[in-house]
Structure 1
Amino acid sequence: MLYPIILSGGIGTRLWPVSSQKNPKQFQKFFNDQTLLQNTYRRILSGFDKKNVFVVGKLEARDYIKSQIDIASGNIITEPQTKGTAMAIGLAALKISQLSPQTNVVIVNSDHFIKDEKKYIKLLKDSEKILDEKYPDKFILAGIKPTYPETGYGYIKVGKKLGNDLFLVDSFKEKPDYSTAEQYIKEGFLWNPAIFLFKAKNLLAWYDQYLPETFRALTAISKDWSPANLTNQYSKVDNISIDYGLLEKMSDMLLIKTDIDWADIGSWRSLRDILSDNKKTNISNVKNVTIDSHNNLFYASSGKLIATIGVEDMVLVETEDVIFLCPAERAQDVKNLLVDIKKQNLDKYL
């Protein structure tokens, strides 16, 4: 049996200023009348029993999560603070392992776009079958052919072929710089869409080997789930993603190649590309009048008219208190901008 775990605890800094500490991107609407979390939950329920679907999020977002999706309180796993996906996934795996150690887990993010949802659900179920019937002690990743040198994704080097679309992972490289990403694409690396499958009990054993600090905290939590102990244990661990903490270190992982139409709604460029018709038209959520302006993303919360002349491949975002402008190809650099904003004691804009 496969238990989907939806990660919903991030802030989404690369979609700043719309996504903020007070109102993260997973609780907002970007391309239809549902929030990113609602879209993800609906998609997962199309293939899995509601009682087996869990959501991981921050403690203060618990009521917000319940207000957005029809989920039992016991299926919301809350963190006292954000300490990266390694801790979030570990906490979820611990919870599931205490229910049933042999249970299969699939990790999905709340901020992903999937065009063909039936194909996506089939991928998850086919992957579980491989895990159950052939490789019960393996960590399985999906891999997707890159379309451009994205610096915000992980890259997977494909190893020995084991079967139809099934391979060993030669190596995993998280968030390379632009030139390295270009080289990875030339060498046939695949994107990591953050679709992970494993048995719950196995993840904890891998943490013991590769993330001992996180493992010790989770071991202590397994004996005492009280809020006080959760807070205490979270204070002892570093903020680290599972990509850096585990995937870059592990050997003998498995890769399933897939051609699902996937995108991580992790930056303004990726959102533009999702909504684009590939004809270099402008994407806007408000009225806009343009002259010689192409392939731009305009997003305004106020409903103002946006007018441009001679603007190409730009991102323009307006909120109540911030106007943000950058070339689309540098949309990932917003994280550096936020560091400078914080240095100037302008936290109220974060």
Structure 2
Amino acid sequence: MRSGISPLILCGGSGKRLWPVSRDTMPKQFIRLEGEHSPFQQTVLRVADRRIYSAPVIVTAHLYRFEVERQLAEIGLTGTLLLEPEARDSGPAILAGALYVAAEAAGETLLVLASDHAIGCPEGFHESVAAADPVARSGYIVTFGIKPTSPATGYGYIEPGEPLAGPVSAVARFAEKPDVETAARLIADGCLWNSGNFLARPKTLIAEYARFEPDTFACVSRAYEGARMSAHVVILSGAHYGQAERKSIDYAVMERTELAAVVPADWRWSDIGTWDAIWEIGARDGAGNVVRGAVESLDSSNCLVRSNGPLTSIVGVRDLVVIVEQDAVLVADRKSCGSVKTLVENLSRRGAKEASAHAREHRPWGWFEVRDLGESFKVKRLAVYPGGRLSLQRHRYRAEHWVVVSGTARVTVDDTVAILTPNQHAEIPLGAVHRLENPGNSLLEIVEVQHGSYLGEDDIIRVEDIYDRVVLDAAE
């Protein structure tokens, strides 16, 4: 296989159908759904062979920047981050990536990959890429069409047309998500599932986008030209990017171009879009159950049960999904899992914070959870990653008390700096300039007790911050 393939990994989706585990603040691509790595990490590892693939370009939101960097560091890999000021669907994201690769890696083909898909048989994946590469270099946009295993109604379909080279054919037509009868007929006619992943030259994608969507092309081009760039981070200009039309690459280009091609793929693939899909790819016990966490099952079969904390038990049930988080529980018929997104939208309309935010709030330095809350006090559990440091800050309305539970803490309070170990504590008086850091190699955990007249997260005045957050900001 020849080298010179640049992976472009799309990493901005919210994954509402996997609620309550996946939410806007920490979506499914960053969560360990199966195995020891998140779907995002699995995607990056899949293209880690530098004899074949260049370091990836990762399109993501500002909100996820530090989680992307943390998860890359966890697997010992690097990449360039292309930060969207706001989500505009896959079309503008891919166009921005194509502009970057065309400028920085001329001559490479662009392998566009979703960060939240599960792919079995890595060897088969690389073989498909190898088959698609020469056709992509000749000017086609080659999609990966998955050979169907069932008349699925949640996927679009591709009808292969005239052969081009090897297993690659031109696309005769795309079919929208069908009903069961139509899906069965499409499969009988030789149609493939549309995986949403593809390979093309950057200049081909750029030219086709400019032809079909000139206004969006102009907006994204200006956003790229006005981007702020550092060694591994490109921040697109929000003033221009926000004017781009929100549209998927399928509607913007793929269903309109004469250059679409498809390579049939035999490898196991799932967009892990629903809990039923997680059950399908999961390791089942003798009764067909897929369990994770503290779960006990009796006389139950074909269930997916996942508990993040409390012991969860099922007795005498079939085909259920039971998902238990600290602040929310989902119980659903497995075959109705596609409706979870509607449930989340209903919760959002009611203003339920659980619809989009986890009880555990993630920050660049680590995370925290509120464990108790009263009229004038709040108790939080904080965890700081090795090397992590909170901003140097002060509060107008609250004092704090920190107790180290595990790890080593470096604590700054005004002009005093101290190293604290488990069972040692620090007092943070009202108005004191302070900072918490983890100088060690293991996770630092503390219990924080706040006391004051106002306990909102926006009571933070930043003096200094290594994560480039603004001085007055509620996102500590």
Normalised by the size of structure 1, how large is the TM-score? 0.90
- Could you tell me which of 182, 187, 190 is aligned with 2:189? 187
- 1:290 maps to a residue whose letter is L
Distance 1:238 1:337 in 2: 27
Give distance in 2, aligned partners of 1:325 and 1:229: 40
Partner amino acid for 2:325?
T
Q: 1:235 aligns with which of 242, 249, 259?
A: 242
Residues 223 and 239 of structure 2 are in contact (CA less than 8 Å); yes or no, is this contact kept in structure 1? no
Corresponding position of 1:284:
291
Higher strand share: 2
Query: Which residue pairs with 1:329 in the alignment?
Result: 335
Contact 1:158 1:255 in 2 (8 A): yes
The whole-number CA distance in structure 1 between the counterparts of 2:235 and 2:36 is 38
Which range moved further: 79-88 or 318-327?
Answer: 318-327
- CA distance in structure 2 between the partners assigned to 1:263 and 1:47 by the alignment: 25
What's the C-alpha RMSD, in Å, of the aligned pairs? 2.3
Distance in 2 separating the partners of 1:32 and 1:10: 21
The higher radius of gyration belongs to: 2
Question: Hey, what does 2:113 align to over in structure 1?
Answer: 108
Structure-1 separation of matches of 2:140 and 2:242 = 30
- Map 1:301-320 → 2, pairs under 5 A: 301-309=308-316, 311-320=317-326
Provide the identity percentage. 27
Instruction: Write the deviation string for residues 279-314 of structure 1: whole angstroms up to 9, x where unpaired.
Output: 7611111322221x32211112124132121x2222
Tell me the equivalent position of 2:205: 203
User: 1:278, 1:165 → 2: CA distance?
Assistant: 38
1:42 corresponds in structure 2 to 45
1:126 is aligned to 131
Q: 1:177 to 1:318 in 2, by over 3 A?
A: farther
Tell me the CA shift for residue 72 of structure 1.
4.3
Could you list the runs of 5+ residues in structure 2 that have no partner in the other structure?
A: 229-233, 357-476
Shift of 1:246: 2.0
Question: What is the alpha-carbon distance in structure 1 between the residues aligned to residue 107 and residue 186 of structure 2?
Answer: 36
Aligned to 2:94: 89
Q: Residue 340 in 1 paired to residue 346 in 2? A: yes
> Aligned residue for 2:471?
none
Are 1:165 and 1:258, in contact at CA under 8 Å, matched by a contact in 2? no
Q: Deviations over 1:253-298 (max 9, x none)?
A: 111112112222221111111115597611111322221x322111
Deviation sequence 1:194-245 (CA, Å, 0-9, x none)? 2211110111111112223321212212431149972112321232221232
Are the structure 2 counterparts of residues 278 and 141 from structure 1 closer, same or farther at C-alpha, using a change threshold of 3 Å? farther
Measured after TM superposition, the shift of residue 186 of structure 1 is: 3.6
Q: Which amino acid aligns with 2:46?
A: R
- Between 282-291 and 146-155, report the one with greater CA deviation: 146-155
Equivalents in 2 of 1:282, 1:45: separation in Å?
A: 33
Q: CA separation in 2, counterparts of 1:258 and 1:278?
A: 29
Contact 1:321 1:349 in 2 (8 A): no
- Aligned residue pair count: 344
Correspondence for 1:2: 5
Tell me the TM-score normalized by structure 2.
Answer: 0.67
- How many angstroms apart in 2 are the aligned matches of 1:15 and 1:249? 31
> 2:279 aligns to what?
272
Q: Distance in 2 between matches of 1:330 and 1:20?
A: 19
Note the residue ranges of structure 1 that are not aligned, 5 or more in a row: none
Question: Which of the pair has the greater relative contact order for Cα pairs under 8 Å at 6+ separation?
Answer: 1
- Asked if structure 2 preserves the Cα contact closer than 8 Å seen for 1:59 and 1:79, the reply is yes
The offset of 1:51, in angstroms, is 4.9
Q: Structure 1 residues 333 and 244, CA, compared in 2 at 3 Å: closer, same or farther?
A: farther
Change (3 A) 1:185 1:115: same
Q: Which amino acid aligns with 1:246?
A: V
CA distance in 2, matches of 1:238, 1:307: 47
What's the secondary structure of 1:146's corresponding residue?
coil
